[in-house]
């Protein structure tokens, strides 16, 4: 559920909640929010999903079938037991413009409604990313969703194309990926800038060399088209959907492509699809600075803060620590030192959830005492790196492959320093890192088959957009913007810290989200919780 920051090779991107499971899931799911609740009823009107538009194309019980895709839309899912849930494979074309060509099977996992007698249908879910294997949401359903929702709907998760067990893209071997993550995300001079740019070029060359033809077909548009095939295979005329972080990008793209098929949609931790490459980087830099400021303020307000007696002093302590680690990596309890890139990931991971701040306390106190063990552990969990030295999924590779198909923008390393003033203003702590992120997709060797559309979702049923006021990864302003852009957008605000709003301890948000997904009751636009 988090817009994941990937600055390996200096690219700013979006990733997921609990990408590595285990501690990272615990860090981000179940944020003990102390934000205010409200006694006001957050819901005001009810809706049924919009009527299916007239079409001359063949139809089934699952709605209109695009021409040439009949065999995909008519498939039946063969569910089998898998770890207490049910799993199936969904077959989709690699290239929707060439539906008679190669196909790919997507892993689907379903958690049947706990109360089958009162089951109302399916809700498709996505945790964000891009790059995260979505089936982790089904495997850890009780951590992601409240019982109120689990009792009434089937939770249906899927690994988007190129991720998890859906023909995962591969770009680097494990040792090279370790080095890729550990490198300094904010080079000090032109030579270092050229070096990480060369590493970026090698990364994308590896994607093409180590992956099949799907590497050019992992865009958000194609993943959204997969969701409509999934809707049909589930026998649903309308798609009900709960997407988090990048999952809101996927959901809003679906709403633009298939507005008449939109059922009850909730987009939590929303991204603003109108932001260009540079503005998106500035937005996320500011978001992480806001979260870090809130963390330091909490430490200072608690008294006897180990970072210093003011926000300025605390931030200076952290910034000096990062600079020292860049010059002299810290020893750890593993066979690796803590290097600059790992230190950054270890720092930002706990900012996704207020409940995780105690982990950050421990990690920073240890680092100030000369040990990088906990910061390295947090970095590894962020990237799904396991104790054996391998990776549990390909999320760190898929995120770059997907984002750079969606937007292949980049600038040359020589042009980065000119961006420093704007990025330093947005984030004194993280600004240079995000400025170097503007080298972006330098070296990408494939391009998207379909362009990313301009999004307004005209004709869709009400779409509930949830924003959290101090969200580090998807700043609140982006939720406000998406709700305004969507023709049927409804804004729901959580006043709190951490990433995303649902199931974070705020009953006002939880009841509004579940009220819509279960009963079709649309929250009043502008509701604040």
For residues 12 and 271, give the distance between their C-alpha atoms in angstroms, rounded to a whole number: 14
Considering 167, 228, 471, 497, which one is annotated as catalytic? 471
In the set 245, 353, 356, 488, the catalytic residue is 245
Q: In whole angstroms, what separates CA 349 from the centre of its chain?
A: 13
Question: Which one, of 481, 466, 520, 405, lies nearest residue 95 by Cα?
Answer: 405
Beta bridge partners of 493: 467, 528
Residue 499 a catalytic site member: yes
Q: Are 247 and 267 in contact (CB under 8 A)?
A: yes
For residues 319 and 35, what is the distance between their CA atoms, to the nearest angstrom?
29
Residue pair 285/427 in contact (Cβ under 8 Å)? The answer is yes
In angstroms, rounded to a whole number, what is the distance separating the alpha carbons of residues 429 and 487? Answer: 37
| Helix (H) or strand (E) run with residue 381 in it | helix 373-382
Q: Which two tokens stand for residue 472?
A: 């580090």
Residue with tokens 């890139």: 341
Q: Is 471 a known active-site residue?
A: yes
- Nearest alpha-carbon partner for 29 in 16, 42, 15: 16
245 carries an active-site annotation: yes
Altogether, the residues listed in the chain come to a count of 529
CA 314 to chain centre: 29
- CA distances, 394 to each of 7, 171, 312 (Å): 16, 9, 38
Count of Cβ atoms closer than 10 Å to residue 406 Cβ: 22
Q: What are phi and psi of 419, to 5 degrees?
A: -90, -10
Q: 170, 184, 499, 510: which is the annotated catalytic residue?
A: 499
Distance CA 448, CA 215 (A): 10
Q: How far apart are CA 322 and CA 159, in angstroms?
A: 35
The residues annotated as belonging to the active site are 245, 471, 499
């Amino acid at each position: 559920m988090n817009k994941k920051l990937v600055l390996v090779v200096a690219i700013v991107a979006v990733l997921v909640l609990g990408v590595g499971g285990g501690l990272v899931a615990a860090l981000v799911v179940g944020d003990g929010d102390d934000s205010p609740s409200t006694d006001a009823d957050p819901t005001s009107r009810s809706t049924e999903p919009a009527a299916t538009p007239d079409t001359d194309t063949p139809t089934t019980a699952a709605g209109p079938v695009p021409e040439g895709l009949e065999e995909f839309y008519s498939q039946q899912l063969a569910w089998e037991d898998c770890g207490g849930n049910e799993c199936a494979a969904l077959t989709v074309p690699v290239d929707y413009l060439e539906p008679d060509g190669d196909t790919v099977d997507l892993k689907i996992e379903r958690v049947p409604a706990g109360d089958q007698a009162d089951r109302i249908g399916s809700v498709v879910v996505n945790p964000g990313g891009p790059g995260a294997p979505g089936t982790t949401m089904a495997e850890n359903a009780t951590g992601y969703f409240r019982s109120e929702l689990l009792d009434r709907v089937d939770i249906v998760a899927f690994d988007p194309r190129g991720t998890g067990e859906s023909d995962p893209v591969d770009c680097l071997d494990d040792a090279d990926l370790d080095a890729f993550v550990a490198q300094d995300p904010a080079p000090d001079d032109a030579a270092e800038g050229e070096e990480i740019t060369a590493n970026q070029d090698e990364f994308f060359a590896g994607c093409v060399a180590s992956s099949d033809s799907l590497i050019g077909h992992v865009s958000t548009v194609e993943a959204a088209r997969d969701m409509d095939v999934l809707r049909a295979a589930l026998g649903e005329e309308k798609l009900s959907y709960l997407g988090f972080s990048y999952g809101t990008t996927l959901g809003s793209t679906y709403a633009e492509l298939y507005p008449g098929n939109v059922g009850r949609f909730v987009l939590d931790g929303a991204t603003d699809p109108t932001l260009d490459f540079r503005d998106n980087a500035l937005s996320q830099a500011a978001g992480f600075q806001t979260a870090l400021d809130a963390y330091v303020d909490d430490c200072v307000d608690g008294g006897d803060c180990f970072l210093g007696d003011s926000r300025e002093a605390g931030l200076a302590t952290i910034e000096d620590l990062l600079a020292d680690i860049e010059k002299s990596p810290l020893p750890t309890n593993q066979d690796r030192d803590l290097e600059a890139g790992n230190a950054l990931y270890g720092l930002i991971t706990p900012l996704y959830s207020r409940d995780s701040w105690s982990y950050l306390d421990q990690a920073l106190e240890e680092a100030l005492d000369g040990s990088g063990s906990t910061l390295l552990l947090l970095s590894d969990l962020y990237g799904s790196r396991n104790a054996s030295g391998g990776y549990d999924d390909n999320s760190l590779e898929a995120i770059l492959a997907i984002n750079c198909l969606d937007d292949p923008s980049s600038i040359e390393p020589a042009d980065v320093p000119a961006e420093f003033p704007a990025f330093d203003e947005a984030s004194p702590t993280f600004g240079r890192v995000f400025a170097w992120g503007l080298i972006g997709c330098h070296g990408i060797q494939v391009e998207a088959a379909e362009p990313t559309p301009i999004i307004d979702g005209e004709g869709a049923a009400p779409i509930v957009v949830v924003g959290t006021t101090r969200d580090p990864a998807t700043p609140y302003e982006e939720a406000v913007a998406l709700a305004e852009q969507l023709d049927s957008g409804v804004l729901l605000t959580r006043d709190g810290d951490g990433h995303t709003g649902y199931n974070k301890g705020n009953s006002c948000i939880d009841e509004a989200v579940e009220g819509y997904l279960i009963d079709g009751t649309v929250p009043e636009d502008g509701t604040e919780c």
